Structure 1
Amino acid sequence: MKIIGVVAGGPRDLLPDLKKYQDLVTEWAGADRGVVYLADENIAMAKALGDFDSISKEEREELEQKGTNLSIYPSEKDKTDTELALDWAIEQKPDEIYLFGTTGGRLDHLYANIFLLMKQFDEGVRIILADKNNEVTFFKEGSYEVRESSHFPYLSFIPFKSDVKELTLEGFKYPLHKRFVPFASTLCISNELIQPKGTFSFKSGILMMVRSRDDSSLPY
C-alpha cells in the first residue's frame, strides 16, 4: 500500500509525532515550512516545495547544506503551497495521502485545507487531514466500517456542503437509523463507539467524519 505524507507549515505544536507515522507512510513531501519540520526530524523527503516565505534565510541555507532539493515557486500564484504539494502527491498515484501541519493558526488556511479533501472524489485517493488531536476524512454515500481508537475516542459526523439522507450509525453510544441530517446540523457531534468497531451508512450527500480527543497533553 502506497501512502504519502504531506507536511505543511502550520503550528508545530499541533503536529503529531511524525516518526510514529514512518512505518505507515512510504513517501514524504514538505510544503514551505513543513520542509523544516521534516528536516528537523531527519525524515527524507521525496519532494520539498513552496515559496518558502515563512522560513528564514538561515533555515533555507541549512536545508540546502543538508542537500535538500528545493522546488521554489513564486509567492504570487494561484494555488497555496499545500495544494501544490497535494497535487504532486496525487500524481504519484498513492492509495492514501495524509496531510499534516494544516490546522491551527489562520482560519482561512484551515478552511482552505479542509476543502482540499474534496479532491479525493475526483482523483480516487483517500485523503486524511491529521493533527495532534484530530483526524478528518470525507465520505460519499455508501456503507463504511470504523474501528475503535484509544487516541481518538470521539467521532463526529458533519454534513458537508449539503444535507445527508438516511444516516445510520450502528455500534455507537448514540445510534441513528435512516435519519435525515440537514447541512450545518450539530446532531452528530461528539459520539463514541461502544463496540470494537461500528458502521455508518447514508444514501446521499457528503459526510465529514472527525475523530478527536480532548487531552492534547497525552502522547500520540
Structure 2
Amino acid sequence: MNFTVNRSTTLLALVFALLAGDPAAAFLRPAQIPESEPAAEPAPKPAGAQRPIVEPQFDSYDRANPDYERLQRPDEALQGFPLDENGKVDWARALRDGVITPREVLQGNETYLPLDLDIVMRNTKGMPYVRFPHKTHTEWLACSNCHPAIFAQKAGTARIRMEDIFRGEFCGKCHDRVAFITHRACFRCHSVAQPGQHMPY
C-alpha cells in the first residue's frame, strides 16, 4: 500500500511539474525540433565553367584521368566468382576453388605454409562461441597483416565487441568492407555451441 501511495504521489508530482513548466522536468517533455531551412541554391557558375566530372559522394574515381578507361569494371572482374548468401563475393571459397591465386609476397617467390590453428573465443554472452580459423586467413594474409597492430599475439588480450567490429576495429578492418558482412552472417563466426545450446541452423 505504502509503495502504491508513493508511486502515485511521485507520478502526480511529475504531471504537475510538466503542466506548470518546471524546468527540472523539462527532460520529460518531447524535444522541440526546429523547422529546417531550405537548402541553399548553389552559386551560379561563370560562363564556360564545367560541372565536375566526379561527384565525390558517388564515385571515388577520377573520370577525367586518361587512364580511367583502362580500369577493369567490377562486374567484369568478378564475373564467375562464387557468391555468399548475401550476393557478395565469397573470397575464401574463390581461393579454395582456384578462381583466384593470390601471390604470397609482392616481390620474389617466397612461400609459406598457412597456420592451421583455430582459436575459440568464449566471451560471447548468450551467443554461440566464435571459432577463428587462422588457416582461412593465413592462406593469403601474412601474420603481420593482423599482428601486433590489430591483435596482440597473446590469448585473452583483445576485448572484442561487435560494436567495435561494426566501427571498423579488430575483425572490422576487413569484414563489412571486403570480407563477408558480419551482421548478416552471424553464425559464420559464432559457430560453436555453448554447453547445452542448440545451434539455430
Q: TM-score when scaled to structure 1?
A: 0.20
* Between structures 1 and 2, the one with greater strand share: 1
More contact order relative to length (CA 8 Å, sep ≥ 6) = 1
* Larger-gyration structure (1/2): 2
Q: TM-score when scaled to structure 2?
A: 0.22
* Between structures 1 and 2, the one with greater helix share: 2
